[in-house]
């Protein structure tokens, strides 16, 4: 049983690791784009007395995309907010059981949101961005992509937690009740 779980977590790790890191890197680029757009908007207004209407909308899109792209990396690396004082009071095995339960709940919520995100994307087919002359579906597609990545990370963390509970090599460290994958 543990060898099957370890093989499965190895496959998920080979997918989630590079995807999470790529998402984080693209999010960094998008934040730089957002800054450049804000500076261009300020310069255009101040120097040319002309407002770049599309720049604000594009900067908003870059902000939302950067959050959705960095989210799987944060979840996988244990960078989410954790209440450590409560977790430190629990015995190690109970803490693992609570963490498994919490991550099961997170994966369930993510699956519900993933399902809803497809309807959200479809609604975007009927809408056009205000200043970009672009179907909103092209902007919204990041939502199901992000939720899919989050579900994959959640499943990986659940398997790693079960392996940790069984005393097998799991590749995680616990940050309170949050597991963090340690890349070897």
- CA contacts within 13 A on the Cβ side of 54: 6
pLDDT in tens, 144-153: 999 999 999 9
Q: Which pLDDT tens digit goes with each residue over 1-19?
A: 788 999 999 999 999 999 9
pLDDT tens column, 111-164: 999 999 999 999 999 999 988 889 999 999 999 999 999 999 999 999 999 999
Average pLDDT value for the chain: 91
Q: Residue 178: in which H helix or E strand, if any?
A: strand 178-181
What does pTM read for this prediction? 0.90
The torsion defined by the Cα of 64, 68, 71 and 72, in degrees rounded to 10, comes to -170
pLDDT higher than threshold 60 for residue 184: no
């Amino acid at each position: 049983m543990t060898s099957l779980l370890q093989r499965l977590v190895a496959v998920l790790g080979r997918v989630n690791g590079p995807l999470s890191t790529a998402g984080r890197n693209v999010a960094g680029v998008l934040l730089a784009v957002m800054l450049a757009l804000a500076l261009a908007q300020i310069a255009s207004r101040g120097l040319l007395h002309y407002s770049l209407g599309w720049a604000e909308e594009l900067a908003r899109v870059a902000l939302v995309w950067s959050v959705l792209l960095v989210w799987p990396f944060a979840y996988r690396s244990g960078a989410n907010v954790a209440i450590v004082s409560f977790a430190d009071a629990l015995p190690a095995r109970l803490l693992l059981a609570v963490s498994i339960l919490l991550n099961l709940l997170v994966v369930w919520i993510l699956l519900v949101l993933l399902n809803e995100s497809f309807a959200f994307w479809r609604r975007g087919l009927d809408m056009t961005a205000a200043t970009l002359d672009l179907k909103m579906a092209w902007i919204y597609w990041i939502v199901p992509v992000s939720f899919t990545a989050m579900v994959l990370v959640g499943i990986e963390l659940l398997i790693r937690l079960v392996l940790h509970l069984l005393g097998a090599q799991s590749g995680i460290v616990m940050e309170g009740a949050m597991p963090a994958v340690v890349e070897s």
